[in-house]
Amino acid sequence: ARLANQIAAGEVVERPASVVKELVENSLDAGATKIEIDIDKGGSRTIRIRDNGQGIPKDELELALSRHATSKISTLDDLEAIASLGFRGEALASISSVSRLTLTSRTESQPEAWSAYAEGRDMQVQLKPAAHPVGTTLEVLDLFFNTPARRKFLRTEKTEFAHIDELLKRIALSRFDVSILLRHNGKLIRQYRASETQAQKERRLAAVCGQGFLQHAVSLELGHGDLRLSGWICTPQGARAQNDLQYCYVNGRMMKDKLINHAIRQAFEGALAPEQYAAYVLFIEVDPHQVDVNVHPAKHEVRFHHARLVHDFIYQGVQSALQQTVV
């Protein structure tokens, strides 16, 4: 039951994909325009993320890893708990407590790179000189090696990798300007090139959502006061029998929000056959003062101050875009 509660808690070091999420978000925070992700064995053996961001100065490497008070981690039981505490600003510390983690980094102003290594609960950090261009590489080996309950909970290599792949699709759609490369067991799986022009963006859209989606997609772009709605929706002709192509972002963050989903579903209503699902990639921009994003700990839900207005704006935007396609 404890495990079930921890998983229900949402924001946890639940699986390799949650590690990848935290590390890629750190790379984006560091201003990276290029991120390379290497995964072995679905992430249970290796998760390696290399970026060209601003890097971490030598004297901050240890700090980046050891934000958790190590004294708190005294028994194996606690360790299992740490794995599920949720990162909340302590991602690297949490990850390093359940893996063998190496952080290698170089900043613009440093002539050489440095490497910091931390393993499990003994978070004695060792620093060594290393070779690395400006940017950061994080290598996470043997995830959950010291938390057998968590390790046992991992699914097959294929399933864990699928979670990582899906996560990176969501990120790829939120940051068209960043190039993202994904390998699994040494094999190149995805290459999302940085894109600026509409044509380049549509190439990425096709890489993420498939050529079929692009073929039937209409783009939309509209505004109303502080609100903006843009992206692509799939016409009813191209609609699918799978519920796996619904991407929605609010101010650049992926959301699974009831109000938004409702507005979109309502707009599609009647246009789709009963076995068809709406497919879309939509970006909503709203004045940050008009929205709270911390409603749900995993931050997938939002609360708009003017919920009705946002709902109707999305509804009307999607509906009129759909109507234009039915000529």
What secondary structure does DSSP assign to 193-227, as a single string? ----SHHHHHHHHHHHH-HHHHHTEEEEEEEETTE
Q: From the list Mg ion, ligand ADP, none, which binds 286 (C-beta under 5 to 8 Å, kind-based)?
A: none
The H-or-E segment that residue 304 falls in is strand 303-304
91 binds Mg ion (CB under 5 A): yes
Q: Return the number of the residue (31 or 223) whose C-beta is nearest ligand ADP.
A: 31
- Asked whether position 22 contacts ligand ADP by CB under 6 A, the answer is yes
Q: Alpha-carbon distance 95 to 100, whole Å?
A: 9
User: Binding residue for ligand ADP (CB under 6 A) from 30, 123, 134, 309?
Assistant: 30
Provide the minimum distance between the beta carbon of 100 and ligand ADP in the complex, in angstroms, as a whole number. 17
Tokens of 279: 């497919």
How many residues of this chain bind Mg ion (CB under 5 A)?
A: 2
Single out the segment in contact with Mg ion by CB under 5 A; choices: 84-92, 199-207, 227-235, 284-292. Answer: 84-92
Residue 91 lies near ligand ADP (rule: CB under 6 A): yes
Least distance from C-beta 194 to ligand ADP, angstroms?
18
Q: Which is nearer to Mg ion, 94 or 115 (CB)?
A: 94
- Report strand pairing: 34-40 vs 179-184: parallel
44 binds ligand ADP (CB under 6 A): no
Exposure string for 96-114, b = 16+ CB within 10 A, e = fewer: bbbbbbbbbbbbeeeeebb
Q: For residue 256, which of 198, 295, 216 has the smallest C-alpha distance?
A: 295
Helix (H/G/I), strand (E/B), else coil: 74:
coil
- Applying CB under 5 A, the residues found at the interface with Mg ion are 26, 91
- Applying CB under 6 A, the residues found at the interface with ligand ADP are 22, 26-27, 30, 51, 53-56, 64, 89-93, 136
